[in-house]
Structure 1
Amino acid sequence: MSSTPSVTVHYAQAILQAAERLALPLPAELRALGGEARIPLARQDALWEAFCSASSDPLIGLRLGCALQVGHLDMVGALLMSCETVGEALEALLEYYPIVGEGGEFSLQRVPGQVRLVYQPHYQVRREERVEAVLASLLHMTRWIAGNKLGSLQLSFSHAARGELASYAGLLDCPLQFEAADNALLFAEADLRVPLIQANALMREHLRGLADSLLERLGTQSLAVRVQQLLRQHPRWGKERVAEQLALSGRHLNRKLAEEGTTFKLLREQVLYQMAEQLLRESPRLSEVAERLGFSDESAFAKAFRRWSSMTPGQFRQGQSE
């Protein structure tokens, strides 16, 4: 198994199947998945770029998400189906989502009367299309495994609408919010108690054992993902502090990351760039963004942001408001 961040081959197959249905031409080297169980995230990036470039439909990612089936989520899909309630399935998703893919993270936020399943992507290639695919698939699968007995689910996207609102409504049939603070699927708190139609305690425990073993193997190999997770929690940390948390020396961390084809500096800059974009959308003062990300002052942050994005923080915010 590759030591780099990856996704299950079944998710990649879903993209290839959609391309075939739509007669979209994809490079032969991207169609040949071979017998591998997982696809490196970099190759998944190339597959998404080719898939979206070959289509003239701005909602191609959303349509793919609506067409995804439980089998495309590897054993995690079957595990979620076997849970007793929607709430239990959400907790299982939080624990086992890296098996499906290591390109993003899920978290649960609880407010009075409502629960938000928040998705934070870590990739940059075709980000909006991929976020729409993830949330659309979760919306449809959640409805299906609950026997369409849920209340009014809602979706929020941090980006602007990519097409006509009527097209979104026809595909998703739920309240929508764009240019929101985060990407999320929103549940009424009461929906967490809704029983699932294929709950199976024996199957669930069997699948949990298999998933635990796979997650353990995956976790010990995806060092880059673990580094990024620590940096998102502690963006001020340097290499030595992160290495200490991973029970490694700084030199050993460098060597292990090099084996995965990356560096600590590159991972840290990717994380800071993603966090900077999110913070700038939330509109705190520039000095606060710089301070939270560990920069000495606004000028140092602005210089770094321009290097990452080829625009100033002000230009980025202006583009978000248009």
Structure 2
Amino acid sequence: MTRISAYRLRHAAQVYGREPAAALGFDKILEAVGVAPDVLADANGRVDLQREAAALETACDALQDPTFAARAGLASPGAKTLLAYLAQASDNVGQVFRFAQRFYALEDPDLSFELDGDEHHPTICLKSDIIGAHQFPRHREFLVFGLLKRTEQIAGPGFGQMSVLLECDDTDHCATLAELAGCEVSSAQKASGIQLPEDGFDFPIATSDAALRDHLLKHGEERLSQMPKSRTGMSAKVIELVRSRLPGNLPSGDEVAEELCVTRRTLTRKLSEEGTNFKSLVETARCDLAKRLLLGTDSIAQVAFLLDFADQAAFSVAFKRWTGATPAVFRKSKL
């Protein structure tokens, strides 16, 4: 898995350190998820996305406060990255997010933006091929509320009211987050992200600078051209292979190892080094596909069959463990 800058984790550690209930040091949290604490003191420090996500989840557990991750996102300072400077030089908010689609891989190759809705009612959703929102829900809230905060910073005053979309089915938790953020937070959504105000894409950026933008775009394209054409992490390879077999018979760990030309022990070791395991990646692939199938015309029994479950009951138990809702409740909430 591609390693990303530790700046987000460094910010979360700073917010955590101000928590009155923080009895467990953040260094212990990092050690628990396999991250060397000294990465926070290194301006060029890098971590795996999965370990960043696990650290946010563990911090919430240590504080016994599921809102910590969202609060840390809302406390995000202005970023000092190429994409942040490019956003400030953009003509309007729509251009900001189109540049984000193009260049966010420079900051985090395992996350991406998807523009949903139409030009008049735009929605920005976060996507990942490596971890699903059901796997690390608090981490996804950290990212989404950070996106909300950074959009407010870039757009400036007068932009209008935004709202947050979460896949979380806990309405009480979402209501608490709504109070913290001062905006509507909708639960049980098909993806996590933010809803911009009507015609939000057309809102002008006060700091627009065409000359600077052209210079940054050229620099960004040069950096993109130097990036590897594809991820070589074992996690990405496993996810891709499992998805290629679904719907259908689920491959075993031994079969995946053989197809990837490694021993099962090597597969287990490499996945552990990337902060994950075979079972977790299989569940991620199954859960993501289950959500898409449930939004179609297939019956729940058919979805269970397509995902290689023994029966509908076994699928329902697994789906509720992944998402907190039964397949029937999930499907009804999306209609």
1:11 aligns with 8
Structure 1 residue 168 and structure 2 residue 177: aligned? yes
How far, CA to CA, are the matches of 1:212 and 1:229 in structure 2? Answer: 27
The CA deviation string for residues 2-43 of structure 1, in whole angstroms up to 9 with x for no partner, is xx2333211111111111222523353623215344211243
Residues 311-320 or 143-152, more deviating: 311-320
Question: CA distance change for structure 1 residues 18 and 116 in 2, over 3 Å: closer, same or farther?
Answer: same
Describe how 1:89-238 pairs up with structure 2 within 5 A.
89-111=96-118, 113-121=120-128, 122-123=131-132, 127-159=136-168, 160-161=170-171, 163=173, 165=175, 167-188=176-197, 190-215=199-224, 216-217=226-227, 219-223=229-233, 224-225=235-236, 228=239, 235-236=246-247
Once the two structures are TM-superposed, the CA of residue 89 in structure 1 deviates from its matched residue by 0.7
Q: Which 10-residue stretch deviates more, 224-233 or 176-185?
A: 224-233
Aligned equivalent of 1:269, options 261, 282, 294:
282
* Stretches of structure 2 lacking an aligned partner (at least 5 in a row): 31-36, 251-257
Query: In the TM superposition, what whole-angstrom CA distance separates every residue of 1:222-281 from its partner, at most 9, and x where no partner exists?
Result: 444477478769945999xxxxxxxxx9556999x9599239966861442331453477
1:20 corresponds in structure 2 to 17
Moved more, 20-29 or 127-136: 20-29
User: Could you say which structure has the higher helix fraction?
Assistant: 1
Distance 2:142 2:187 in 1: 15
Partner of 2:310: 299
Query: CA 1:184 to 1:204, structure 2 compared with 1: closer, same or farther past 3 Å?
Result: same
- Equivalent residue letter for 1:59: T
TM-score, normalisation: structure 2: 0.71
Question: Do the aligned residues in 2 keep the contact of 1:70 with 1:141 (CA within 8 Å)?
Answer: yes
| Contiguous gaps of at least 5 residues in structure 1 | 240-248
What SS is found at the alignment partner of 1:152?
Answer: coil
Check 1:146–1:202 CA distance in 2 against 1; reply closer, same or farther (3 A cut).
Answer: same
DSSP 3-state at the match of 2:149: helix
Does residue 32 (structure 1) correspond to residue 44 (structure 2)? The answer is: no
**Correspondence 1:316 to 2:314:** no
Q: Could you say what secondary structure the match of 2:188 adopts?
A: coil
Residue 217 of structure 1 aligns to a residue in which SS? coil
Separation of aligned partners in 1, 2:69 and 2:259: 40
Q: TM-score, structure 1 length as denominator? A: 0.73
Structure 1 residue identity aligned to 2:201: L
Q: Structure 1 residues 189 and 252 mapped into 2: Cα distance closer, same or farther (>3 Å)?
A: farther
**Could you say which residue in structure 2 is the equivalent of 1:70?**
78
Partner-residue secondary structure (3-state), 1:299: coil
1:246 aligns with: none
Match of 2:199, SS state, is helix
Structure 2 counterpart of 1:244: none
What secondary structure sits across from 1:109 in the alignment?
strand
> How big is the shift at 1:115?
1.7
Aligned partners of 1:59 and 1:162 also within 8 Å? no
Contact 2:53-2:136 within 8 A present in 1 as well: no
Pairs aligned (count): 304
Counterparts of 1:200 and 1:6 in 2: how far apart (Å)?
Answer: 32
Quick one: which amino acid aligns to residue 85 of structure 1?
N
Q: Deviations over 1:28-75 (max 9, x none)?
A: 362321534421124313422332122233211111111112327x43
CA apart distance, 1:190 = 1.9
Identical amino acids, percent of aligned pairs? 16
How big is the shift at 1:172? Answer: 2.3
Q: CA RMSD in A?
A: 4.3
> How has the CA–CA distance of structure 1 residues 164 and 313 changed in structure 2, closer, same or farther, with 3 Å as cutoff?
closer
Conserved? CA contact 1:302–1:312, under 8 Å: no
Query: In the alignment, residue 26 of structure 1 is paired with which amino acid?
Result: G
CA distance in 2, matches of 1:62, 1:152: 18
1:61 is aligned to 69
Could you say if the C-alpha distance between residues 169 and 258 of structure 1 is closer, same or farther in structure 2, counting changes exceeding 3 Å? closer
